[in-house]
Amino acid sequence: MSSPVPDPAIAGPLREALARSNYNTGGVMVALGGDAESSPGDAPVQARRLGSDDQAVLVRLFLLGLDVDADRARTALAPARLEDLERGRLIEVDGGGRVRCPIRISPFEGLLLAHDPEVVEDPAPDIVTGLNSAARTLASLTPRRPAGRALDVGTGSGVQALLAAKHSGHVVATDVNPRALAFTELGAALSGFDHVECREGSFFDPVEGERFDLVVSNPPYVISPDAQLVYRDGGLERDEVSRIAVSGAAAHLAEGGLAMVLANWVHQAWEPWDQPLRDWLEGSGCEALLLHHLSEDGLEYAAKWNTRHRRDPETHAQVLDRWTGYYRDAGIGTLATGGVALRRRGGGDPRITTAEMATGPAGKGGEHVLRMLDAAALLAEGSADSLLATPLALVPGHRLHRERRHTGEGYGPETVRMVLDDSAGLSSEFGPAVAAILVGLDGTRTPGDLVPLLAQALPGSDDEIRDAVLGAVRTLLEQGLVEPAATAD
């Protein structure tokens, strides 16, 4: 049975104690020698890196899940009182003068997230997980623009809701798991937010008829025959969870509003990976950027989501047989993973563009997402002549890698790869001619300005050079590598 979630009423003094001891991402990274996260297997190593000051006591207690001396904890937790924390179910005191914390408090992006400890085997059905790769991916891909009202569907521990609270006037977080909402309320209190509202219910039921400026969702999208784990298994057939999340996000966006949804979906091997997503969005009134990370067969997918059974080969084999049998019986050939970015814009036919993610996102990947949405609108609405006359600038924060591969016949042609600090995970590689165009777009020149310069160095007629520049610039815009130059007010 899952432990009760601590009372948010204890958060005020505890937040003060954590702030006083520099219990934040940077402080914990320094204390642990480079990492602000922990797992059961890491805790014994990390504990031995810690000193004996108040911060070390709090890291042992709230991040590593180790027990500490009650008197020492009392000092480190001031101004919070040990007795109040025990009544609020945050601290458990044993008869030997030791205390422990049954939950975890993780610092992340200026927040304090409350969640259950990581469980290696047999997690409780209503377990509320902390940071994981999906949560980090969605956090990075979400555009961060000021928003009046924001919505987090399937909030879990509240990671996305609390991140949205940093730039939104009011945030609504929904979940079917009452423990998830309780943890979100605790995390909001620990992070100092009073404008996060939690509502219990399935998907968009708690916000029927409402519109939002930002919608985010990391739903329980795993496609499987199971329904035991609330955070992972939506209990619906095939990819219905992701369909509801994507179409519901589109339906609840206010004019100009943005959404970012992570999803898994089914497509056949002969079918374009984006076709199911396009079908879901038909008539939505939203422009979309569809991000494809990978597609896997049933066995690969089942193995990825059941690594916790690997210690018991017999059980692992039975689970894999059950999952792959489900895929076979349901006619599921290929399972795709990715994300859907949406923006509601009135007028005209909504544009849908696609992109392949070579890696996970980096930094503020949402800035890259926004550039690609903006580029799709620019390219759809503008003529070739207007594009050639538009001053364009390179995106700040990037690196160019030049490479020539050697074969048995010598060095091949040079390729240039552009790596963004804030990236949606795309891989952008091109030849030296496109690189020359890229470098030439310094914010003061238009693509048209480059045509006569390139005509002096490249073979072909003026029209051929013009068409080549136009094609290259379209590609650079589509991939979010250049953008219209800022104009002076």
Alpha-carbon 50 to chain mean position: 30
Output the pLDDT for position 230. 76
40 in Cβ contact with 66 (< 8 Å) = no
Mean pLDDT of 185-198: 98
With vertex at residue 420, the alpha carbon angle to CA 25 and CA 454, rounded to the nearest 5 degrees, is 165
Q: Yes or no: is domain 382-484 CATH 3.30.565?
A: no
Classify the C-alpha dihedral 107-111-114-120 as positive or negative. negative
Kindly indicate the confidence band of residue 1, based on its pLDDT and cuts at 50, 70 and 90.
low
Q: Report how far residue 333's alpha carbon sits from residue 368's, in angstroms, rounded to the nearest whole number.
A: 31
Which of 102-106, 436-440, 463-467 has the highest average model confidence (pLDDT)?
A: 102-106
Residue with the bigger pLDDT between 153 and 406: it is: 153
Question: Within 13 A of 377's CA, how many CA atoms are on the CB side?
Answer: 18
pLDDT tens, 324-353?
999 999 999 899 999 999 999 876 667 999
Closest CA to 138 of 123, 125, 154: 154
CB atoms within 10 A of CB 182: 20
First-to-last alpha carbon distance for the chain, in angstroms, is: 61
Check if the beta carbon of residue 120 is closer than 8 Å to that of residue 158. no
Q: How confident is the model at residue 484 (pLDDT cuts 50, 70, 90)?
A: very high
Residue 312: pLDDT band (50, 70, 90) is confident
C-alpha–C-alpha distance, residues 470 and 156, integer Å? 46
Intervals of CATH 3.90.930 along the chain: 382-484
Backbone angles phi and psi of 352, in degrees to 5 = -125, 120
The predicted pLDDT at position 487 comes to 63
CA 211 remoteness from chain centre: 22
pLDDT of residue 241: 94
Is pLDDT at 167 greater than 90 in this prediction?
yes
Q: What is the pLDDT of residue 348?
A: 60
Q: What order do you get walking across the sheet with 410-420 strand by strand?
A: 398-407, 410-420, 428-430
Nearest residue to 66 via CA among 1, 16, 117: 117
Q: Which helix (H) or strand (E) holds 301?
A: helix 298-304
Q: Would you state the pLDDT for residue 347?
A: 63
Summarised one tens digit per residue, pLDDT across range 227-278 is 777 777 777 889 999 999 999 999 999 999 999 999 999 998 888 999 999 9
Residues in the chain: 489
Kindly report the average pLDDT of the chain as a whole number. Answer: 91
Across residues 125-145, what is the average pLDDT?
94
pLDDT at 35: 80
* Residue 4 φ then ψ, to 5°: -70, 150
What pLDDT, on the 0 to 100 scale, is given for residue 381?
83
Report which of 237, 221, 176, 164 is spatially closest to residue 203, judged by C-alpha positions: 176
Burial class (CB in 10 A: 0-12, 13-18, 19+), 409: exposed
- Greatest Cα pair distance, the chain, in angstroms, is 88
Structural class in CATH, domain 111-357: alpha beta
**How much is the pLDDT for 463?**
83
**What is the 8-class DSSP label of residue 377?**
H
Contact 154, 219 (CB under 8 A): yes
**Which residues is 267 bridged to in the sheet?**
334
Start-end of CATH 3.40.50.150 domains in the chain: 111-357
pLDDT computed for residue 165 by the predictor:
98
**224 contacts: CB under 8 Å, gap ≥ 6:** 233, 302, 305, 323, 326
- Both tokens of 117, joined, read 């400890």
Considering only CA atoms, which of 39, 229, 198, 223 is closest in space to residue 127? 229
Coil, strand or helix at 329: helix
Q: State pLDDT tens for residues 383-426.
A: 899 999 999 998 989 888 888 888 878 888 888 888 999 999 99
